[in-house]
Amino acid sequence: MIQTENFHKVQVSSSQELRAWLQQHHGQKESVWLVTFKKTVPEKYLSTSEVLDELLCFGWIDGIRRKLDDNKTMQLISPRKVEHWAKTYKDRAAKLIEEGKMQDAGFRSIELSKQAGLWDFMEDVDNLVVPEDLQKALKKYEGATEFFYAINDSSKRFVLRYIKLAKTEKTRVSRIEQIAVLASRGEKLKGS
């Protein structure tokens, strides 16, 4: 578990302030709490979408978000590790590149992911391709297939990602069985 209380806090009240901070600090290795104002303070409000755009431009990523007080929230932001990119993040990065906002650090993050073979790693998940082993497991349980295909796309992606990110074959088999049993009971995976 991450010791989140140990991170430095950085407060911003505009995307320009966040961009200026990232220009100076994008090379650091440590995560920080990004403190932003809620909609209740409209002149200082920065949307999560604006935050994410700036982070991606500099090779950073958003993390857990917590309430700080009645007017502010804080979100853990970190330099992006070499890892897979979800379609939504890839689409957002493409838009930022097209708009001329992407910075060298952001381009570097994308390139490292591509070099590691992780840029398209989740393409089957993004396209909702249900693997054969999951299909077979669902067929073993009455009603499981129907339930699984009836859940919304976001929940399906969550489940498919959960299966794909299993580090061992044993874990993958266990997760698939878990999904099939839950689906047979008409239950979704917790968090999906």
Residues 81 and 128 placed together within one structural domain of the fold: no
In which band, very low, low, confident or very high, does the pLDDT at 3 lie, cut at 50, 70 and 90?
low
Give the residue ranges of DSSP H helices in 41-115. 48-57, 87-98, 104-115
Question: Residue 67 pairs with which residues in a beta bridge?
Answer: 73
191, part of any domain? no
As a whole number, the mean pLDDT across the chain is: 95
Where in the sequence is the domain holding 70, given as residue range(s)?
6-115
Number of domains in the chain: 2
Residues 132 and 81 placed together within one structural domain of the fold: no
189, part of any domain? no
Q: Quick one: pLDDT at residue 127?
A: 93
Residues 141 and 110 placed together within one structural domain of the fold: no
Residues 61 and 138 placed together within one structural domain of the fold: no
17, part of any domain? yes
pLDDT in tens, 49-105: 999 999 999 999 999 999 999 999 999 999 999 999 988 999 999 999 999 999 999
Please choose, from the candidates 183, 187, 169, the residue with its C-alpha nearest in 3D space to the C-alpha of residue 135.
183
86, part of any domain? yes
Which of 115, 141, 175 terminates a domain? The answer is 115
Q: Quick one: pLDDT at residue 1?
A: 46
93, part of any domain? yes
Residues 53 and 99 placed together within one structural domain of the fold: yes
Q: Quick one: pLDDT at residue 192?
A: 74
Residues 134 and 99 placed together within one structural domain of the fold: no
Residues 78 and 152 placed together within one structural domain of the fold: no
Residues 110 and 169 placed together within one structural domain of the fold: no
130, part of any domain? yes
